[in-house]
């Protein structure tokens, strides 16, 4: 599968963003990172997580960890005491923070006009 395949399947929609839109989205990312340490707040969309393989080119190890987190959440195990260790939760926060850095690098290289530092 590729992003082209996704578009052909109707799973993607082209959106035009300006710098202000990107800044708002990055603020949401930061807000979510800041609150990710609270119980009950976890990543929730398979396609969004899976798309990172194509957009930010995350490695397969990171992709598998994100998918495992998603599967646990979908199975409702986050509601069970001890189903997710503090270490696993901390690791997901670290991954999310590193993905934010990768996103900023991606914007700087591919869309410098959208990068918040431009």
pLDDT value at residue 41: 46
Spatial CA neighbour of 63 closest among 46, 54, 50, 47: 50
Question: Whole-number mean pLDDT of the chain?
Answer: 80
Predicted confidence band at 109 (pLDDT cuts at 50, 70, 90)? very high
More confident residue, 74 or 70: 70
Residue with tokens 């807000």: 31
High-pLDDT (> 70) share of the chain, %: 80
The answer to whether the predicted template modeling score (pTM) of the entire model surpasses 0.75 is: no
Residue 32, H or E segment? helix 19-35
pLDDT tens column, 79-108: 555 566 778 878 888 888 899 999 999 999
């Amino acid at each position: 599968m590729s992003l082209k395949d996704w578009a052909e399947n109707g799973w993607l929609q082209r959106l035009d963003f300006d710098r202000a839109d990107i800044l708002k989205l990055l603020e949401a990312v930061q807000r979510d990172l800041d609150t990710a340490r609270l119980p009950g707040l976890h990543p929730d969309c398979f396609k969004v997580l899976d798309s990172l393989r194509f957009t930010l080119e995350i490695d397969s190890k990171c992709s598998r960890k994100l998918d495992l987190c998603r599967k646990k959440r979908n199975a409702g195990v986050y509601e069970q005491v001890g189903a997710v260790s503090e270490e696993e939760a901390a690791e997901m926060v670290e991954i999310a923070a590193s993905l934010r850095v990768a996103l900023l690098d991606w914007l700087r290289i591919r869309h410098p006009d959208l990068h918040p530092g431009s």
